[in-house]
Amino acid sequence: MNIDDIFIRNHISATTLVREGMRIPLVHAMTGVAWRSLRKIWQDTYGNATPLPGRMPGNTLSYIKQGQTSLLLSTLVAVYLTVEKRANPPAASQAEMFIQAWESRKLFTKNGMAIDINAAWYAIRDVKAELVSWGRCKQCKARYIFDTELRETSKCPYCGERDIKIIGPGKQ
């Protein structure tokens, strides 16, 4: 794949991510698209509205404490890990794989259920970097984000079981 193709694919991914509501610093980190181009994409998408000010929560557990559901985040992480494992072509960018996983959320969310795209990316990043624990329920075999100190993640979000096995992010 030549440099022009990569450039175009990164811009397409960046445009998609900005339209979905991802914060500009995350889009920049994921795609490498220049800040000026990202601000232009933001302006073309949202007009004169400025990007959300302030600092974002810095990790998955912060988002969960603020109300993001561990069930939806865990499901999205599991989908991403599967997409990454089956990436075709293997040269698919991180942004393209994330967008594929992000699109899948429509299959498991209903009206009133929302996943913050920024929280979704942090969840994937944190599981892959082993900053949060990724476990498997011994009862239903589902994989999910957990933290024994956080009530929202101390049990399986799918079946409620507390008996888990800690596994690494690459283990499916």
- Rounded distance between C-alpha atoms, residue 34 and residue 128, angstroms: 25
Asked whether the predicted pLDDT for residue 55 surpasses 80, the reply is no
Q: Which of 21-30, 75-84, 85-94 has the lowest mean pLDDT?
A: 85-94
Residue 46 pLDDT > 80: yes
pLDDT, tens only, 136-162:
888 999 998 887 666 666 778 888 887
Which residue(s) pair with 167 in the sheet?
134
Q: Is the pLDDT of residue 165 over 80?
A: no
Over range 22-36, report the average pLDDT.
95
More confident call, 35 vs 71:
35
Q: How far apart are CA 36 and CA 26, in angstroms?
A: 14
Q: Tell me the pTM.
A: 0.85
Digit-coded pLDDT (tens) for 81-123 = 999 998 876 678 999 999 999 999 888 887 777 888 999 999 9
Q: What is the pLDDT of residue 133?
A: 85
The pair phi, psi for residue 167, each rounded to 5°, is -130, 165
Q: Retrieve residue 113's tokens.
A: 């259920």
Q: Where are the beta strands (DSSP E) in the chain?
A: 133-137, 143-146, 164-167
Give yes or no for residue 62 having a pLDDT over 90. no
CA neighbours within 13 Å on the CB side: how many for 56? 18
- Per-residue DSSP letter, 106: H
* pLDDT for 17: 97
In the chain, where the domains are located: 3-46, 60-167
